[in-house]
Amino acid sequence: MSLTIDIAGVPAERLLFAVSPLAELTAMLHVLAEPAHHPAHRDWAVETRSALRPELAEQLLEAEFLWRSSQADFLLPGRPGPTLADELDRVDLLDDDTYVTAALVATCGTDRLPPDSGSPLRHAPTRERTLDLAYARGSRQASFAERLIADPPMVRARVRRMLEECEAVFFAAAWARVLPRLVADLRLKNDLLARRGVAEALAAVSGAIEVDEDRRRIVVDKLQDSTTSAMGDGVTFLPTVFGAPHLIVVHARGWRPVVQYPVAVPDRKPAEAVPMESVRLRLEALSHPVRLRLVRTLARGAHTTGELASTWSLSAPEVSRHLAVLRRAGLLTARRRGRYVIHELDAAATATLGTDLLTAVLR
């Protein structure tokens, strides 16, 4: 499973590494909404939330659907500005149809709306579908979606005022602290891009990103199958401190592709990303009751195929087939002892399955 960005014919200079105040504010708001995803910032989240005036806290709760489960596309600018105010001015230039569609995709948790579905403001079936999804998520979300559809200018102005107040209350101070790290990361990535090329620059962005040189596309290992193109505009890469560990990709039709990635830790290579396919293979391997029995025995010590067959009253060929599945999933190691092959459970690969699964789905 992967998300691919077609970069055929896109020159390297159209791969833009930049910092975005609005994108980092969005990451901070996500931390406030989902602090469990970000243990490194949990203390900051508790302190910041406790300092909010009640009215602002309530407004953030009403609008958190814009950044909690997914981020509205306009919150991750493809062409970042120097200040939050500048980026909010650019959001104001979006027409209501574009703004509302992007907001409701995030708010309702829907898949990208089909190209022929029309705007929720003008197309009744699309409006009904998005409202149905909002109702299913509770009265607060339904109320926000209804107000947005009924009076887009009012809701847009309210959201902007709320974000501006966030800047005064907590964002400006936090931004000043993280900006040097973001700028240092930009220097590193731009230097790699200029001296080593696209593949090495993106390898430094995340272990979950690779470049298919032959087919000229960026492949992001995420739990989704989607494709977008960077033809014309290019791609923007935004480093984030507060967004870690998430790797977020804007890939909606009509929007410049944007990748928000966790900033590099000084003097440390990016953590190796466990491929989603590896996690899937392990889950499937352990889903069979016979293989679970074999794992139970192997967890207690190394065994030969014949020993396992005898223990569980199975035929040797049947055990061999199950061992092959476990081995392909990376859960077993094998070594030869004389004329016998000894199978052993890889305890580390088995123990980290839960962590690897959560990391992959949150990526």
Task: Tell whether 288 is covered by a domain.
Answer: yes
State phi, psi for 342 to the nearest 5 degrees.
-100, 125
Q: Final residue of a domain: which of 172, 203, 234?
A: 203
Say if residue 195 is in the same domain as residue 291: no
What CA–CA distances, in Å, run from 118 to 87, 111, 335, 346?
A: 26, 14, 60, 52
**Cβ-based neighbours of 345, under 8 Å, separated by 6 or more:** 295, 298, 299, 331, 332
Task: Tell whether 110 is covered by a domain.
Answer: yes
Say if residue 46 is in the same domain as residue 181: yes
Number of structural domains in the chain: 2
Cα of 270 vs its chain's centroid, Å: 16
Query: What integer pLDDT is reported at residue 151 of this predicted model?
Result: 96
What CA–CA distances, in Å, run from 334 to 141, 226, 294, 327?
A: 53, 38, 14, 8
**Cβ-based neighbours of 205, under 8 Å, separated by 6 or more:** 189, 237, 259, 261, 270
Task: Give the Cα separation of 21 and 27 in Å (integer).
Answer: 10
Whether 63 and 162 have beta carbons less than 8 Å apart is answered as yes
Q: pTM above 0.75?
A: yes
Say if residue 137 is in the same domain as residue 56: yes
State phi, psi for 104 to the nearest 5 degrees.
-75, -30
Among 208, 212, 190, 186, which residue's Cα sits nearest to residue 199? 212
Whether 166 and 30 have beta carbons less than 8 Å apart is answered as no
Task: Tell whether 147 is covered by a domain.
Answer: yes
Tell me, what CATH number does 313's domain have? 1.10.10.10
Task: Give the Cα separation of 175 and 296 in Å (integer).
Answer: 50
Residue position matching structure tokens 């123990």: 351
Task: Give the Cα separation of 152 and 134 in Å (integer).
Answer: 16
Task: Give the Cα separation of 329 and 274 in Å (integer).
Answer: 12
Give residue 115's domain range.
21-203
Q: Final residue of a domain: which of 179, 203, 227?
A: 203
Say if residue 197 is in the same domain as residue 281: no
Say if residue 150 is in the same domain as residue 51: yes
Task: Tell whether 60 is covered by a domain.
Answer: yes
Task: Tell whether 213 is covered by a domain.
Answer: no
For 316-349, give the secondary structure using H, E and C: HHHHHHHHHHHHHCCCEEEEEECCEEEEEECHHH
3-state DSSP percent of the chain in helix, strand and coil, to 5? 55, 15, 30
Task: Tell whether 295 is covered by a domain.
Answer: yes
**Cβ-based neighbours of 219, under 8 Å, separated by 6 or more:** 2, 3, 4, 209, 210, 211, 212
Residue position matching structure tokens 């190691």: 333
Say if residue 186 is in the same domain as residue 286: no
State phi, psi for 239 to the nearest 5 degrees.
-75, 150
Whether 174 and 21 have beta carbons less than 8 Å apart is answered as no
Say if residue 117 is in the same domain as residue 25: yes
Say if residue 43 is in the same domain as residue 168: yes
Whether 113 and 83 have beta carbons less than 8 Å apart is answered as no
* Strand boundaries in the chain, DSSP class E: 3-6, 15-17, 209-212, 217-220, 226-229, 235-240, 248-250, 258-262, 303-304, 332-337, 340-345
Q: Final residue of a domain: which of 203, 223, 249?
A: 203
Say if residue 121 is in the same domain as residue 31: yes
Say if residue 35 is in the same domain as residue 179: yes
Task: Tell whether 226 is covered by a domain.
Answer: no
Say if residue 157 is in the same domain as residue 52: yes
Task: Tell whether 287 is covered by a domain.
Answer: yes
Say if residue 29 is in the same domain as residue 127: yes
**Cβ-based neighbours of 347, under 8 Å, separated by 6 or more:** 299
pLDDT tens digit at each of 363 positions of the chain: 688 889 888 888 889 999 999 999 999 999 999 998 888 899 999 999 999 999 999 999 989 889 988 899 999 999 999 999 999 999 999 999 999 988 887 665 545 455 556 788 888 888 888 888 778 778 888 888 899 999 999 999 999 999 999 999 999 999 999 999 999 999 999 999 999 988 899 988 988 888 887 768 998 887 677 888 888 789 999 999 999 888 888 887 778 899 999 997 665 555 567 777 888 888 888 889 999 999 989 988 889 999 899 899 999 999 999 999 999 999 998 888 888 888 998 888 888 887 777 777 676
